[in-house]
Amino acid sequence: MIRITQLKLSIDEPVDKIKSLLLKKLKIQESDLIDYRIYKESIDARQRGEINFIYTVDATVKHEGKILGKKLKNVALAPKLDYKNPPIGQKPLNHRPLVIGFGPAGMFAALLLAQNGYRPIVLERGQAVDERVKSIDEFWSKGQLNPKSNVQFGEGGAGTFSDGKLTSRVRDLRGRKVLEEFVQAGAPEDILYKAHPHVGTDLLRDIVKNIRKQIIALGGEVYFDSQVEQFMIEKDALTGVKLVDGRIFKATQAVLAIGHSARDTFNELYDKGINITAKPFAVGVRIEHPQRLIDKAQYKEFAGHPRLGAAEYRLTYKASSGRGVYTFCMCPGGLVVPAASEEGRLVTNGMSEHARNQENANSGLLVQVFPEDFPTEHPLAGVEFQRILERKAYELGGSNYQAPAQRVGDFLDHKASTTMGTVTPSYALGVTPSNLDELFPEYITQSMREAIIGLDKKLHGFALSDAVMTGVESRSSSPVRINRDEESFQSISTKGIYPSGEGAGFAGGIVSAAIDGLKCAEALISTYNRPVEES
C-alpha cells in the first residue's frame, strides 16, 4: 500500500472528497485506484477564522512501483501495521492460565491467550455487564451501593463507565490491534483514524460482551462474581488461587489485572510477600462547565458545527509548590457520576455516552501527590490516603452519598458555597454546597486555586464563577506498583504472577491498559507451550 499524508479538506467539504484528492495527488485515473482507507484524521485550527481536517490515507493502486518512482511529496510506501502473534514457547504448562480481572488489561490478555489456543480462565470479582448496569442504576437512583459490583468492579472494568477514550500516549503498534479488536466487537470504524477516538459508555457495554463471547468461543471460560481471596504460593511461585466462595483453581501462570481499586487484593498480595511499593498519583475534583462555553473557547465561530461535535481540552499547570496540576479524563457533553466501591466512602468519576450530548462538560482537576504525603511509609499508605479523603467527602456531603460541591468563584474567594449557580451539577445523587477546604489539605487547595487562574489564560472561561467543583476524584490511577521484571513481565518476587494494567501501576487509560495486557500475555505465550490439561 501507498501512504499519502497532508491531504486537506475544509470544514465544509465532505469526507468522500478524499478520493478525488487522492487521484489528483497520485496523478492517476479512477480505474487505477483499487482501494483506500483513512489512517489518521486530525483537526488544524491554527489559522484564525479557519478550520481544516488533515488526513493520512493508505491506498492500494495499480502500478505501485511506478507511482513510488515518481517521488511525489508526502507519498511513500505504507509501513506494515499487522499485529504478529508471538512464537509459542516450549516450557510445559500443566494448568490453563488464569486471568484475574476483566477490565481492559485482563480482557486483552485473555483474548490473545484464547486466540493462540491457551484456553484461559478469567476470574472477575464483579458482575457481567448487564447485571452490573442494574447494580449501578440502583446506586445512582437510590444510593444503595453494591460493594461487589459497581463503577470500579465488573465486566469491562472502570473504563466501561467513562467517556470510553481510546487515545494513548504509548507509541506501540499493539494499540492498532486493540482498536481493530474493538471495531470487530462493534465499535465504529472511525476509531481507527480519529485523532481523539472514543466510543462512550453506551457502546462499550455491548463491545465488552462481544469480546467475552469471542474468548469463550475460542475455548476460554469467564466467571463473574468470582473474587480471588487467597493466592497459593510455594517456594516463591504461584500454585493456584482460592476464591471467596471456596472454589480453588490450580494454576502456575496468572495475569494479574485487578484494577486500581482492588484494595483487599492489594492487602492479600502484600501479606503473601509479593513485592509492592507505593507510587505517586493525583487527587482532586470533577470540574463542570457548560459544554457550549468549552465549544466556544476551543472552536470560536465554528462552535456547534456538525463536523466538530463537542469540544475537548487537556490542560496542565505547574503550581508554585512544584506540584503538577492537570485535567484528567475530560468528558465532553458528559456527567459526573457516583463511583464509590466501599460503603461510607465517596468517589466521583466522569462519563459520556457516544453522542456526548449532555449539557455540561466535566473533567478531573487533579493535583499530584507523592509517597511523602501519605500517612506512613507503608507500601499501601497511598490506599489509606485515598480512604481518608473519601471518608471526609462522604461526611461533608451529608453521609448519604451526596457529593460535596463548591462554585469556582466561592472556592477562589475562600468561602463556602451555600447554593449552586447557573451551572447545574450533574452528579446523580445530588450535591451538598460545601467548602472544599474542609476536604483537602492546604497544599492541594492552594495548587488548585493557582491552576484554575492559570488555566483560564489557556482556556477562556475555565475560571467561570458558577462552574462546579465536585469532590472527591481519588481514583485517577493506582496508588501502588506491583513490581515486575521487564523481560519476563513476572513479579520480581513471585514466579507465575504477571502484574498488568492500571492496578499494577503500568498503564493509564483503556488502550494503554489493553496494550499492557497484551504484553503480559505475549510473555507467557512465548515462554510456555499450550496447556495440556483438558479441563
Q: Is residue 132 part of a domain?
A: yes
Closest CA relative to residue 413, chosen from 368, 343, 457, 466: 466
What distance in Å separates the CA atoms of residue 279 and residue 257, rounded to the nearest whole number? 17
Name, in order, each residue with C-beta under 8 angstroms of 486's C-beta and a sequence gap of 6 or more: none
What one-character-per-residue DSSP string does 438-487 give?
GTS-HHHHHHHHHHHHHHHTTSTTTT-TT-EEEEEE--SS-SEEE-B-TT
Give me 285's grid cell: 475534583
CATH code where residue 148 lies: 3.50.50.60
Q: Residues 52, 9: contact at Cβ < 8 Å?
A: yes
Distance CA 518, CA 58 (A): 26
Output the DSSP codes for 97-133. Answer: PEEE--SHHHHHHHHHHHHTT---EEE-SS--HHHHH
At 281, give phi and psi (nearest 5°): -150, -150
Question: In angstroms, rounded to a whole number, what is the distance separating the alpha carbons of residues 336 and 28?
Answer: 51
Query: In this structure, are 387 and 372 located in the same domain?
Result: yes
In terms of domains, do 450 and 329 share one?
yes
**27 is a domain residue:** yes
Neighbours of 413 (CB within 10 A): 11
Is 160 a member of any domain? yes
Residues 290 and 401 reside in one and the same domain:
yes
* DSSP secondary structure of 300-349: GGGTT-TTT-S-----EEE-TTS-EEEEEEEETT-EEEE---STT---EE
422, 310: one domain:
yes
* Residue at 512 is within a domain: yes
Using only C-alpha atoms, what is the Rg of the chain?
24
DSSP 49: T
Q: Are residues 294 and 362 in the same domain?
A: yes
482 lies in some domain: no
Phi, psi dihedral angles at 522 (to 5 degrees): -60, -45
Residue 30 lies in a domain: yes
Q: If DSSP codes are grouped into helix, strand and coil, which group holds residue 80? A: coil
Q: Are residues 150 and 21 in the same domain?
A: no
Residue 482 phi/psi, 5-degree rounding, is: -95, 100
- The answer to whether residues 266 and 336 belong to one domain is no
- According to DSSP, the residues that pair with 446 across neighbouring strands are none
CATH number at residue 53: 3.30.70.2700
**Residue 383 identity:** V
Cell reading at 290: 457548560
C-alpha 91: how far from chain center: 34
User: What is the domain range of residue 407?
Assistant: 278-473
Residue indicated by cell numbers 488461587: 241
pLDDT for position 169: 64
Dihedral over alpha carbons 155, 160, 161, 163 (to 10 degrees) = 180
Q: How many domains does the chain have?
A: 3
Spans of the chain below 70 pLDDT: 169-170, 533-535
523 and 452 assigned to the same domain: no
Residues 332 and 412 in one domain: yes
Contacts 24+ apart (CB under 8 A), 290-295: 290/359, 290/360, 290/361, 290/422, 290/423, 291/332, 291/333, 291/358, 291/359, 291/360, 291/361, 293/361, 293/461, 293/464, 294/332, 294/361, 294/459, 294/461
Residue at grid coordinates 470479582: 125
Within-domain flag for 376: yes
Shared-domain flag, residues 508 and 418 = no
Q: Which amino acid is at 199?
A: V
Residue 21 domain flag? yes
Handedness of CA 394, 398, 399, 402 (dihedral sign): negative
The reply to whether 302 and 222 lie within a common domain is no
Q: Is 119 left (phi over 0), alpha (psi -120 to 50) or beta?
A: left
HSE on the CB side for 271, CA within 13 Å? 10
Residue 69 shares a structural domain with residue 142 = no
Provide the pairing of β-strand 431-433 with 403-407.
parallel
Angle at 308 between CA 303 and CA 314, to 5 degrees: 85
CB 334 within 8 A of CB 356: yes
